[in-house]
């Protein structure tokens, strides 16, 4: 029979090395003194020795006795003539005690032996400890309760996966507040883990977007501990202080250390490149991976997404967007009780529950010329300077000769981390004494007040002034011009924007390299295309120098910046239509802050006003593809408000056309229709037939979802006639596809097939895979609705193949959806579920709202086939509500199938349960419906499904 006992294992560390140093004779006495000290404590704490090697296996009835023994044991070893250190592991669990026979004991066996899983568990915990550490398992910690010895605390090291152990072990360490806790050593047999999404994973694989740090985190132990303690007490900690004090780095380090406490990840939101407060929510949504919802403001969608999640949000560089940041954080904290936030700013956000934490300069060494090296090394400011100096000059050492100069330098720089790092970059070319002299000559204190903060700001400026003055004229010019970039830049952009007289394009690489070496520009070469960026302090400084330059260099530089990124936007617009779509999308995401800055300049009158409209045309495809429709529509409205655009019918027409396409992408077909009708009037007046035909054809897609098929057909026939009379065969194909949609909508399937087959022939002749895939898809749809699954599958498979080869992910999603519907009709539920789920995810990513609602209705049919009737009712209830709000009409064929599905559910589900589930769907959002639809457990418990979503 097993008993619950406390097992303590100890092991003296470095005993082999000590034996080699002392010799066998001396080591015998060391072991004897160890054994006496260890055994003398056993009676006091009611312990029993079971076994002994380089440590001991001890048995206790009570966990508190075992802990007190371990503490006294460590102290006793430290007091021995030859001090020793041991590691200790404690576990409480069932043990099996076996007494050996007297004859076996006489032959050297132990009187008592311990078996059971508790013994190897305690051994594994002990092996994870370092010398002087006492580690406990969760069972031991629970058994100890509040009986922690005075002066000691218990600290969790998180959960660790150990090779050979099924479940991770949470480790606790008992020690003092004054001594830092040491984490278990990293080996290939143990790694720290945390639960995310219901499963254990290594901490370094936890979801996050924290930027990689290339330098060590020096000092700030007290601040780090205090920030982490505040995070445990409140949900918003705001780090306050001037620029250059290391607020961002402190927040990132704290986030990395508490990451296991947030199973849904740690997410970093850098607002430094953002100037428009209206974009703060957009940036947060993109960082979190949240897409816009058709019927909600984006902030509501973000809050709904976070409602049930446990994550940490870092909102960095809030000072220039305080109000917008406060509204964002306040809304999130109210809506999502599991979300915590760290903000950094020069002033508080004044959000309820906010805990402000001032970040001060690093501690300085004691004043006086007689300070020794050991004392200097205790100063965090000195340690940071020395650490960063070694990055630039590996041989740099803190010597008795240079010690006073280093102490003077870090004191003059007042412990400002950025200032220390900039100064450290100079050790490669000059001595510390020379750096000191130059810094001292360039101090310029503010007058008229003695506020310390302003003095520190001026001190930092003095250092930047000095760094700037050390640059040659070309480097100064380059630094000023580089300040126009937002969120970083690559070499090509730097050459285009900065490489004009007095500089040359070929000079820019060398100039950038020099600025990187002087720590004024930072290089990130982790990507295929290296990127550069500057700290905001340097950006602001460079911008001042640029504005102060003669010959309108500032205006000309921002104009070149705008021109470069306008050309990039046009190239992206072409690129996303081909096989390299993903690469171009990623490139635009990287440069989006620069493009936004260029658009902002065009809207503010810094360049010709028509450039703003041209930007909207170039950005249309990207905005729709990546879910920036709201931002795009706001840009269109701002462009339409420009006097120059209002005075140009051509510019107005293009802006209206783009705005209508974006509105249509968000299923705002009424607004799209209004804009296109205005656009059509202008384009008829301008007289360009192809523009007129394109507007008429696009207007078809705005009228049809609202059920206005007659008007849609009239406009499409007019467009077709214009395309044909102008020999625009691609336009003709598009018009034929639209006519296919119209006749399918009106139930004229024969005419629809005729148009689509004609369009298919032209598309193949033109080798246009996008149009070919669309024709094949529509033929599949018509065959399916006409009761010909064989033809439907053939056309659908062909559409999927063509779209995949063309890189048309939207077209492929549509093909997969209809192939899934065919599978479902033929009783192939598993295949149908896989295809429909693939399509649903794509529709969510691409914000194809009409298609998304149709796919949710398909998932309702799938749920019914899997005996998940209540889920099916909820999905239909939500889609019906949203269709009504968005005025989206189902084509006759789909409406008939929806009606049949609804009737079947009414017959299957009791009336009261049906009404309750249908009403419950009104409280859902689209994301909730998608998550439920994507659930793959075909036999899920309906009682669970009927609970209110959280």
More confident residue, 344 or 465: 344
Model confidence pLDDT, tens digit, residues 668-722: 788 899 999 999 999 999 999 999 999 999 899 888 877 788 888 999 999 999 9
Q: How many CA atoms lie within 13 A of 216 on its CB side?
A: 12
Mark 660-678 as b/e (b = at least 16 C-beta within 10 Å): bbbbbbbbbbebbbbbbbb
Q: Is the pLDDT of residue 947 over 50?
A: no
Bond preceding residue 502 cis, omega within 30 of 0: yes
Model confidence pLDDT, tens digit, residues 578-598: 667 678 888 898 999 999 999
What's 923's DSSP letter? Answer: G
Q: Residue 135 and residue 173: Cα distance in Å, rounded?
A: 5
Specify which of 95-104, 355-364, 414-423, 493-502 reaches the highest per-range mean pLDDT: 493-502
As a three-state string, the secondary structure of 866-880 is: CCCHHHHHHHHHHHH
Q: Is the pLDDT of residue 914 over 60?
A: yes
Model confidence pLDDT, tens digit, residues 137-171: 989 999 998 888 887 888 877 777 776 666 778 88
More confident residue, 939 or 805: 805
Q: Residue 283 and residue 319: Cα distance in Å, rounded?
A: 16
- Cβ neighbors of 380 (< 8 A, separation 6 or more) are 218, 219, 220, 362, 363, 415
pLDDT > 70: percent of the chain: 88
What's 189's DSSP letter? Answer: T
Strands ordered across the beta sheet of 489-490: 489-490, 531-533, 522-524
Q: Residue 135 and residue 319: Cα distance in Å, rounded?
A: 44
Specify which of 152-156, 377-381, 649-653 reaches the highest per-range mean pLDDT: 649-653
Q: Is the pLDDT of residue 600 over 90?
A: yes
Q: Is the pLDDT of residue 771 over 60?
A: yes
Residue-level pLDDT at 942 = 44
What average pLDDT does the segment 750-775 reach? 89
With contact defined as beta carbons under 8 Å apart, do 385 and 423 qualify? yes
Q: Is the pLDDT of residue 179 over 60?
A: no
Residue-level pLDDT at 937 = 38
Q: Residue 638 and residue 603: Cα distance in Å, rounded?
A: 7
What's 194's DSSP letter? Answer: E
Residue-level pLDDT at 933 = 87
- Mean per-residue pLDDT of the chain: 84
What average pLDDT does the segment 62-82 reach? 93
- Give DSSP secondary structure letters for 619-639: HHHHHHHHT-HHHHHHHHHHH
3-state secondary structure (DSSP) of residue 522:
strand
């Amino acid at each position: 029979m097993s008993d619950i006992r406390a097992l303590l294992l100890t092991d003296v560390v470095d005993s082999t090395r000590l034996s080699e140093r002392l010799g066998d004779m001396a080591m015998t006495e060391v072991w004897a003194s160890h054994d006496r000290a260890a055994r003398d404590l056993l009676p006091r704490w009611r312990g029993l020795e079971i076994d002994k090697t380089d440590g001991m296996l001890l048995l206790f009835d009570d966990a508190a006795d075992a802990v007190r023994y371990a503490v006294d044991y460590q102290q006793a070893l430290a007091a021995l003539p030859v001090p020793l250190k041991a590691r200790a592991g404690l576990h409480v669990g069932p043990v099996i005690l076996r007494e050996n026979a007297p004859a076996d004991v006489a032959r050297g066996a132990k009187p008592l032996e311990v078996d059971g899983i508790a013994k190897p568990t305690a051994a594994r915990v002990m092996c994870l400890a370092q010398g002087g550490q006492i580690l406990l398992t969760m069972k031991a910690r629970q058994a100890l309760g509040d009986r922690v010895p005075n002066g000691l605390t218990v600290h969790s090291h998180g959960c660790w996966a150990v090779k050979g152990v099924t479940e991770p072990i949470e480790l606790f360490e008992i020690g003092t507040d004054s001594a830092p806790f040491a984490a278990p050593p990293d080996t290939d047999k143990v790694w720290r883990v945390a639960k995310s999404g219901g499963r254990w994973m290594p901490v370094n694989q936890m979801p996050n977007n924290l930027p990689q740090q290339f330098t060590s985190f020096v000092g700030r132990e007290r601040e780090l501990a205090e920030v982490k303690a505040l995070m445990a007490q409140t949900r918003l900690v705001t780090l306050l202080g001037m620029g250059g004090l290391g607020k961002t780095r402190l927040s990132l380090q704290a986030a990395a250390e508490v990451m296991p406490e947030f199973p849904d990840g740690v997410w970093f939101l850098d607002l430094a490149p953002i100037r428009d407060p209206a974009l703060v929510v957009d940036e947060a949504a993109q960082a979190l991976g949240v897409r816009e919802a058709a019927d909600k403001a984006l902030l509501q969608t973000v809050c709904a997404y976070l409602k049930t999640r446990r994550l940490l949000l870092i909102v960095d560089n809030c000072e220039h967007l305080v109000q917008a940041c406060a509204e964002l954080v306040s809304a999130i904290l109210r809506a999502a009780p599991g979300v915590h936030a760290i903000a950094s700013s020069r002033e508080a956000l004044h959000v309820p529950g906010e805990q402000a934490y001032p970040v001060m300069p690093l501690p300085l060494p004691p004043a006086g010329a007689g300070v020794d090296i050991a004392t200097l090394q205790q100063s965090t400011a000195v340690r940071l300077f020395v650490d960063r100096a070694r990055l630039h000059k590996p041989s740099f050492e803190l010597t008795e000769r240079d010690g006073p100069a280093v102490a003077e330098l870090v004191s003059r720089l007042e412990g400002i981390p950025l200032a220390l790092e900039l100064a450290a970059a100079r050790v490669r070319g000059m001595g510390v004494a020379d750096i000191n002299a130059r810094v001292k000559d360039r101090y310029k204190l503010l007058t008229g007040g003695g506020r310390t903060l302003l003095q520190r700001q001026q001190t930092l400026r003095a250092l930047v002034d000095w760094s700037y003055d050390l640059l040659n004229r070309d480097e100064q010019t380059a630094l000023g011009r580089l300040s126009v970039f937002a969120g970083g830049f690559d070499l090509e952009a730097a050459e285009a924007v900065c490489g004009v007289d007095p500089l040359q394009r070929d000079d820019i690489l060398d100039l950038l390299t020099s600025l990187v070496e002087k720590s004024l520009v930072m290089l990130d070469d982790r990507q295929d295309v290296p990127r550069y960026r500057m700290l905001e302090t340097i950006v602001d400084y460079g911008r001042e120098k640029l504005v102060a330059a003669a010959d309108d260099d500032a205006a000309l530089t921002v104009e070149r910046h705008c021109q470069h990124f306008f050309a990039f936007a046009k190239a992206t617009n072409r690129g996303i239509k081909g096989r390299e779509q993903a690469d171009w999308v990623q490139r635009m995401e990287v440069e989006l802050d620069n493009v936004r800055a260029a658009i902002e300049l065009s809207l503010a009158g810094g360049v010709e006003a028509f450039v703003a409209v041209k930007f909207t045309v170039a950005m249309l495809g990207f905005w729709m593809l990546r879910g920036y429709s709201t931002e795009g529509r706001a840009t269109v409205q701002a462009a339409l408000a420009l006097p120059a655009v209002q005075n140009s019918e051509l510019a107005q027409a293009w802006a209206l056309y783009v705005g209508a396409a974006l509105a249509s992408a968000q299923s705002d077909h009424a607004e799209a229709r209004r804009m296109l009708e205005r656009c059509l009037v202008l384009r008829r007046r301008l007289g360009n037939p192809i523009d007129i035909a394109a507007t008429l054809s696009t207007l078809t897609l705005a009228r049809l979802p609202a059920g206005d098929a007659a008007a849609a057909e009239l406009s499409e026939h007019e467009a077709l006639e214009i395309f044909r009379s102008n020999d625009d065969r691609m336009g003709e194909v598009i018009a034929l596809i639209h006519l296919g949609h119209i006749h399918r909508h009106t139930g004229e399937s024969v005419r629809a097939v005729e148009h689509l087959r004609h369009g298919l022939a032209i598309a193949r002749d033109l080798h246009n895979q996008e149009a070919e895939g669309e024709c094949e898809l529509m033929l599949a749809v018509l065959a399916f609705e006409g009761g010909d699954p064989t033809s439907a599958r053939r056309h659908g498979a062909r559409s999927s193949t063509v779209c995949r080869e063309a890189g048309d992910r939207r077209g492929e999603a549509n093909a997969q959806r209809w192939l899934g519907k065919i599978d479902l009709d033929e009783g192939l539920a598993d295949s149908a579920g896989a295809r429909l789920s693939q399509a649903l995810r794509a529709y969510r990513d691409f914000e194809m709202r009409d298609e998304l609602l149709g796919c949710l209705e398909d998932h309702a049919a799938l749920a019914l086939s899997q005996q998940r009737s209540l889920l099916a009712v909820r999905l239909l209830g939500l889609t019906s509500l949203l269709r009504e709000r968005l005025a989206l009409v189902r084509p006759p064929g789909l409406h008939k199938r929806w009606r049949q599905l609804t009737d079947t559910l009414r017959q299957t589900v009791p009336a009261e349960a049906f009404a309750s589930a249908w009403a419950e769907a009104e409280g859902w959002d689209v994301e909730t419906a998608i998550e439920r639809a994507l659930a793959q457990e075909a036999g899920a418990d309906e009682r669970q499904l009927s609970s209110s979503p959280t």
